[in-house]
């Protein structure tokens, strides 16, 4: 038994001498960290920004598909409305741009005239004055609606703005149009939804 002992020690020293240091280091390193349990979800990432008043705000960053996202219904045509209003919506869509050019009332006026909804071009300068002129001079009436998504196709939506011209747009089947197309209505306060019957 004593004869085999020195041979084992020499064999162990020789093997150690031939094993590369990197391999030994990998074998001696700490194990990989455990992955978090699948039921625990990390808190959502935050996007921080400053609003117009200079206040710092943050919102969640959406990084995954949300099956419960808000969907808005398509507008329905109203058979009681003047069919020329729907034609005005189509004309406005054909002439609209991808982004605003700050000429919403100009483009809506042109669409209303081209479709024959109004006999002459409206004269008011500001978009927020459109509703009053359409009612007093062109036979429009204001609908009792507060939700722009409930406006029928072809109706004219007028929005207010402090120290600004306001905004006006026409409801289309799947969105809103003025000098540009949008799937969502203006964020300004809604003054009214106007139609011609």
pLDDT of residue 45: 78
Strand order in the sheet with 190-195: 141-143, 190-195, 156-159, 167-172, 175-177, 181-182
Instruction: Give a yes or no: residue 167 inside a domain.
Output: yes
Measured between alpha carbons, how far apart are the two ends of the chain, in Å?
113
- Spatial neighbors of 105 by CB under 8 A, at least 6 apart, are 122, 124, 125, 126, 127, 130, 165, 168, 178
Strand partners, 157: 169, 193
pLDDT of residue 83: 86
Q: How many structural domains are present in the chain? A: 1
Closest CA to 136 of 155, 154, 150, 123: 123
Question: CA-CA distance, 182 to 99, in Å (whole number)?
Answer: 9
Instruction: Give a yes or no: residue 108 inside a domain.
Output: yes
pLDDT of residue 187: 93
- Structural domain boundaries enclosing 112: 83-195
Instruction: Give a yes or no: residue 123 inside a domain.
Output: yes
Question: CA-CA distance, 81 to 155, in Å (whole number)?
Answer: 9
pLDDT of residue 24: 45
Query: What's 147's domain CATH number?
Result: 3.90.1720.10
pLDDT of residue 25: 45
SS3 track for 12-35 = HHHHHHHCCHHHHHHHHCCCCCCC
- Spatial neighbors of 111 by CB under 8 A, at least 6 apart, are 88, 89, 91, 92, 95, 170
Question: CA-CA distance, 170 to 64, in Å (whole number)?
Answer: 33
Instruction: Give a yes or no: residue 158 inside a domain.
Output: yes
Instruction: Give a yes or no: residue 92 inside a domain.
Output: yes
User: What 3-state DSSP class applies to 60?
Assistant: strand
pLDDT in tens, the chain (197 residues): 555 555 555 555 555 555 554 444 444 445 555 555 555 556 667 878 888 788 888 877 766 655 545 456 666 666 677 789 999 999 999 999 989 999 999 999 999 999 999 999 999 999 999 999 999 999 999 999 999 999 999 999 999 998 899 999 999 988 999 999 999 999 999 999 999 97
Instruction: Give a yes or no: residue 68 inside a domain.
Output: no
Instruction: Give a yes or no: residue 65 inside a domain.
Output: no
Instruction: Give a yes or no: residue 138 inside a domain.
Output: yes
């Amino acid at each position: 038994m004593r004869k085999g002992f020195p041979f084992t020690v020499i064999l162990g020293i020789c093997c150690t001498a031939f094993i590369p240091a990197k391999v030994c280091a990998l074998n001696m390193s700490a194990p990989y960290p455990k992955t978090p349990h699948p039921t625990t979800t990390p808190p959502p990432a935050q996007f921080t920004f400053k609003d117009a008043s200079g206040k710092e705000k943050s919102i969640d960053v959406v990084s995954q598909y949300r099956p419960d996202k808000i969907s808005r219904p398509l507008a329905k045509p109203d058979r009681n409305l003047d069919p020329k209003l729907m034609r005005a919506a189509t004309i406005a869509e054909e002439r609209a741009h991808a982004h605003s050019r700050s000429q919403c009332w100009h483009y809506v006026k042109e669409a209303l005239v081209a479709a024959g909804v109004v006999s002459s071009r409206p004269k008011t300068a500001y978009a927020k004055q459109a509703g009053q002129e359409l009612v007093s001079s062109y036979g429009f009436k204001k609908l009792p609606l507060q939700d722009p998504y409930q406006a029928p196709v072809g109706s004219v939506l007028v929005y207010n703005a402090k120290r600004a011209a306001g905004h006006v747009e026409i409801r289309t089947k799947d969105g809103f149009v003025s000098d540009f197309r949008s799937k969502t209505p203006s964020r300004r306060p809604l003054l009214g939804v106007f139609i011609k019957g």
